[in-house]
């Protein structure tokens, strides 16, 4: 497994950079969080598909 030693665009740094880039471009950003399997796999799939269609 590779280990990040700085801001190589991984983990928290990547998220911070993405939000900063959106702000600099005058755009809003969202980082949706979905708990897989809650309440069931079918609902999880439906939620993920809806997020994808919405551009999240």
4-49 residue pLDDT tens: 455 556 789 999 999 999 999 999 998 899 999 999 999 999 999 9
Contacts 24+ apart (CB under 8 A), 51-55: none
What is the C-alpha separation between 7 and 16, in angstroms, rounded? Answer: 10
Domain boundaries, the chain: 30-56
Euclidean distance between the first and the last CA atom of the chain, given in angstroms as a whole number:
28
Threshold 0.85, pTM exceeds: no
């Amino acid at each position: 497994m590779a280990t990040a030693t700085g801001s190589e665009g991984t983990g928290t740094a990547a998220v911070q950079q993405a939000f900063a880039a959106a702000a600099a471009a005058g755009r809003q950003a969202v980082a949706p969080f979905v708990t897989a399997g809650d309440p069931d796999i079918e609902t999880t799939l439906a939620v993920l598909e809806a997020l994808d269609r919405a551009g999240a």
